[in-house]
């Protein structure tokens, strides 16, 4: 069975990406522009380039306390190779970290025609269904979302999905007992949908954005010489049976 691809062609010792010579792309286009090209099939406009650059920059890192950051550094501390630690960090991205962007994008896409947002949010709250793209373990307000939505407005890509994301956030905070911010996953999801990307691609953007941060953490861990990391015994609370005879 043959692979069929519209992405890359190698012919006569030359490589073409989406029909463009890789050599020309290397000298005439930026990495962000080429990322857009390889994922979308066409080169971005200046506005699309600016917005995608903002999206990737905003998600580049969020410290060693994140699930992916912790896992990547722990695996690196066990003297695994950098690519093994990087893969481990990426694998730590799930529905509550990194993967929420995909769930949020799908939710926004499926509910963008909903007329009664308050009723929808209230119903989900009563069912104890957590809305992806909202809330944060550390932040009560995610300023990254404000900045990204601002750039989306400036570049003309603030559309129905972005508006829906903000409406849901407003309702959610009216009925919640604690602040539940529209987080970077939710903001990125809405913007990427308004840019015309498929919701199934959205998690890929978060991964692309976060890889440089993880690589930096892995290198810092390897160069720091702290040794093997493990959870301190005083932070482990045993809840099983006391020692007993066989």
pLDDT of 111 reads 87
Query: Half-sphere exposure (CA, 13 Å, Cβ side) for 94?
Result: 5
Q: Evaluate whether residue 232 is within a structural domain.
A: no
26-75 pLDDT tens trace: 999 999 999 999 999 999 999 999 999 999 999 999 999 999 999 999 99
124, 57: one domain: yes
Considering the domain architecture, whether residues 87 and 25 belong to the same structural domain is answered as no
What is residue 117's predicted lDDT score, i.e. its pLDDT? Answer: 79
Tell me the CB-side half-sphere exposure of residue 182, using CA atoms within 13 A: 26
Residue 245's pLDDT is 96
User: Are 121 and 33 within one domain?
Assistant: no
For residues 80 and 37, state if they share a domain: no
The residue segments making up the domain with residue 197 are: 45-224
Q: Which of 138, 144, 136, 110 is nearest to 124 (CA)?
A: 110
Helix (H) or strand (E) holding 178: none
**Which CATH number covers residue 77?**
1.10.230.10
Q: Are residues 209 and 92 in the same domain?
A: yes
Whether 107 and 211 share a structural domain: yes
Q: 78 in a domain, yes or no? A: yes
Same domain, 116 and 33: no
Hunting for tokens 């390889």 — which residue is that?
38
User: Could you tell me if residue 2 is inside a domain?
Assistant: no
Q: What span, in angstroms and rounded, lies between the C-alpha atoms of 14 and 35?
A: 19
| Residues 12, 102 within the same domain | no
| Residues 108, 20 share a domain | no
In this structure, is residue 196 part of a structural domain?
Answer: yes
Residue 11 maps to a domain: yes
Whether 31 and 65 share a structural domain: no
In this prediction, residue 152 carries a pLDDT of 98
Q: How many domains does the chain have?
A: 2
Within a domain: 241: no
The structure's pTM equals 0.90
Tell me, what's the pLDDT at 202? 96
Same structural domain, 62 and 34: no
**Residue 154 maps to a domain:** yes
In the predicted model, residues of the chain with pLDDT beneath 70 are none
- pLDDT for 180: 85
The answer as to whether 203 is a domain residue is: yes
Regarding whether 33 and 124 lie in a shared domain, the answer is no
């Amino acid at each position: 069975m043959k692979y069929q691809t519209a992405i890359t062609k190698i012919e006569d010792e030359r490589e073409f990406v989406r029909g463009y010579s890789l050599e020309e792309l290397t000298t005439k286009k930026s990495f962000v522009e080429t990322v857009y090209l390889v994922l979308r099939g066409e080169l971005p406009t200046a506005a699309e380039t600016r917005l995608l650059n903002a999206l990737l920059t905003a998600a580049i890192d969020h410290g060693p306390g994140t699930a992916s950051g912790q896992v990547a550094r722990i695996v690196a501390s066990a003297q695994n190779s950098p690519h093994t630690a990087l893969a481990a960090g990426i694998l730590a991205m799930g529905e509550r970290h990194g993967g929420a962007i995909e769930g949020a994008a799908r939710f926004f896409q499926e509910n963008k025609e909903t007329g009664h947002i308050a009723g929808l949010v209230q119903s989900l709250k009563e069912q104890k269904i957590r809305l992806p793209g909202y809330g944060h373990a550390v932040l009560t307000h995610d300023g990254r979302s404000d900045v990204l939505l601002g750039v989306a407005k400036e570049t003309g890509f603030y559309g129905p999905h972005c508006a829906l994301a903000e409406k849901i956030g407003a309702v959610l905070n009216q009925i919640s007992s604690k602040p539940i911010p529209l987080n970077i996953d939710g903001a990125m999801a809405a913007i990427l949908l308004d840019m015309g990307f498929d919701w199934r691609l959205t998690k890929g953007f978060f991964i692309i954005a976060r890889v440089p941060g993880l690589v930096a953490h892995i290198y810092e861990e390897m160069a720091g010489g702290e040794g093997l990391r493990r959870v301190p015994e005083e932070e482990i609370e045993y809840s099983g049976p006391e020692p007993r005879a066989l």
